[in-house]
Structure 1
Amino acid sequence: MKLKRIASAFLAGALALSLAACGGSASTSAAASASGSAAGSASAAAGSDLDYIKGKGKMVIGYTVYEPMNYTDVDGNFTGFDTELATAVCAKLGVEPEFVEINWDTKVVELDAKSIDCIWNGMTLTEDIMANTATTKAYAKNAQVVVVKEGTAYTSTADLAGKTVVAEAGSAGEAAIQGDENLAKADYISKSVQTDCLMEVAAGTADAAVLDLTLANAMIGEGTDYASLKIVDELNAEEYGVAFRKGSDAAAAMDAAFDELKADGTMHWPRSTSWRWPTEPGVKQNDRWVCFCVCDPWAPFRRVPAQL
């Protein structure tokens, strides 16, 4: 699926999430940049992955449906924060973006098989990802959070030992569950996408979900389909980046594109720039969603008055 047009107002607002607006965690960002640099050196011997992508005239981007990063709105337009940022970066690189839905649990396998050229879908820069792919610098912050039903008694993850907890297979949420001594004792069930996790908690078939803050902030609470759900805990902070094949020189080229977008002002839009969240029921036409700078990992995708 190719994105044929860009909603400029959305792009402006969405890019305010970029790490370029505030700088990120030094350790993770440095590790990600180092991974990309090392990959660039290796690619010289194996042939340029960037030339391969440019030769096709398109960059095949692997994604899963993940509001607000990549999704189809009520008017049938494929959009989202990562969708619009990817489109802007591809324009800098002189290629067209082509978005292909993948199985998140086998994302690296599909990358290595050249079914896709990169993974770009709110992807956490984990040690495993950085060890097995060439990654860009971080461009946004996120966190893994615990979501439960309103009225649920919760003081810590110890309350969930022996309870049913869900997360997306192969996700940072799954890793957070496995790495928490209390959640590791829960009855864990993996789901194919994060939105399914919210459905399970809302239906009462799961006691809690562990998923991305960006998605939780956008999809739960008053005025949404999941008004009965709430965030009760933050397990860890993390950063988003883009992954290419191990040894690819395309990661360094994308870092340069990020720098250009920062220099030309695209990644410096103020908080007054906003876009309407189109899928939220009952929202008036002039209500807006605003992306804040990701210096505060709890800030992205909180709704504020349209006049800001």
Structure 2
Amino acid sequence: MKRIVLAVFCAAMAAGMLFAGGKKDGPAAGGDASLTNITSRGKFVLGLDDAFPPMGYRNEDNEIVGYDVDLAKEVAKRIGVELVLQPIDWDAKEQELNTGEIDCIWNGFTITEERKANILYTPPYLKNAQVVVVKGNSPVNSLKDLTGKTAGTQAGSSSVDAIDEAPEFKSSLKEVIEYKDFLTALMDLDVGGIDAVVIDLVVANDNINRSGKDFRILKETLGEEEFGIGFRKNDKALADKVWETLLAMAKDGTVAKIATKWLGADISIIGK
């Protein structure tokens, strides 16, 4: 009887080891299947604000275009998957990512310590700053000149964080109005609804250059920052593959070509 029990026990142990060995590299054993999930599905879903030029926005034909879009298209092509552009409510971007609706946030996504607690970022790929835009004929020439005036910005953006992190400046303002996107805030500035817009430098420069509006950017800034691509915390394999591909694109000149097209010069910091 003991021999029978021992034989059954050994057989069970062997089967268990074989089963465990077969699942060793799978997600159930703690492995990261984020890259294989993308390649097997054949699609890479990018979440973005489709009103954030020049990073990602809709052109006259209602197509989503931009600097980040072109970078992502080339990355997806080299990985061998289809890029799916998914416009999202920027104020709910982290929720969209963590519920699996999108695979990454790639749209001038500022790296902050607070966000890093919940987001896995790539290294930074572009430098940026938070600036203040006013009308050309405005008497405002400094942050101090905005005392008692109304400023607008985009809800859920790093511009909101920049204002919060400058309590003296914020308390000097009469009001801070948060809009759905920066373009709406700039339109309100143009018609005199607000006195200034706190905005990303790359967006401000692009809007002024393309729209021809009589806007100007104050010399004082509310701080410098960097853009990164955001992934779910456990999706390291996918994040690493995207960054590895961008490094190869920087090395062969593709990034420089895309940056010159959208930003006027190769100001990328990928691999630098």
- CA deviations 1:94-127 (Å, max 9, x no partner) are 2111001101111001100001110011111111
Q: Are residue 164 (structure 1) and residue 150 (structure 2) matched?
A: yes
Separation in 1 of the partners of 2:95 and 2:156?
A: 12
Q: CA deviation at 1:44?
A: 7.6
Contact 1:43–1:248 (CA under 8 A) maintained in structure 2: no
- Give matches, 1:267-286, under 5 Å: 267-269=255-257, 274=261
Partner amino acid, structure 2, of 1:174: V
Q: Are residue 246 (structure 1) and residue 233 (structure 2) matched?
A: yes
CA pair 234-251 structure 1, distance change in 2 beyond 3 A: same
| Cα RMSD after superposing both structures | 2.3
CA pair 71-56 structure 1, distance change in 2 beyond 3 A: same
Greater share of helix: 2
Q: Are residue 107 (structure 1) and residue 75 (structure 2) matched?
A: no
Q: 2:179 aligns with which of 191, 194, 206?
A: 191
Partner amino acid, structure 2, of 1:127: E
Determine the structure 2 residue equivalent to 1:54. 39
Separation in 1 of the partners of 2:31 and 2:258?
A: 42
Q: Structure 2: where are the runs of 5+ without partners?
A: 1-26
- Give matches, 1:15-26, under 5 Å: none
CA pair 154-182 structure 1, distance change in 2 beyond 3 A: farther
Q: Are residue 291 (structure 1) and residue 272 (structure 2) matched?
A: no
- CA deviations 1:45-66 (Å, max 9, x no partner) are 2642222222211111101121
Q: Are residue 117 (structure 1) and residue 91 (structure 2) matched?
A: no
Contact 2:118–2:233 (CA under 8 A) maintained in structure 1: yes
Q: Compare relative contact order (CA 8 Å, sep 6+) and give the higher one, 1 or 2.
A: 1
Q: Are residue 142 (structure 1) and residue 128 (structure 2) matched?
A: yes
CA pair 248-166 structure 1, distance change in 2 beyond 3 A: same
Q: 2:195 aligns with which of 192, 201, 207?
A: 207
May I ask how many residue pairs the two structures share in their alignment? 238
Partner amino acid, structure 2, of 1:51: T
Partner amino acid, structure 2, of 1:266: T
CA pair 159-44 structure 1, distance change in 2 beyond 3 A: farther
Larger Rg: 2
- Give matches, 1:168-187, under 5 Å: 168-185=154-171, 186=173, 187=175
Q: Structure 1: where are the runs of 5+ without partners?
A: 1-41, 276-288, 296-308
Q: CA deviation at 1:294?
A: 4.5
Separation in 2 of the partners of 1:88 and 1:267?
A: 10
Q: CA deviation at 1:88?
A: 0.7
- What TM-score, normalized to structure 1? 0.71
Determine the structure 2 residue equivalent to 1:234. 221
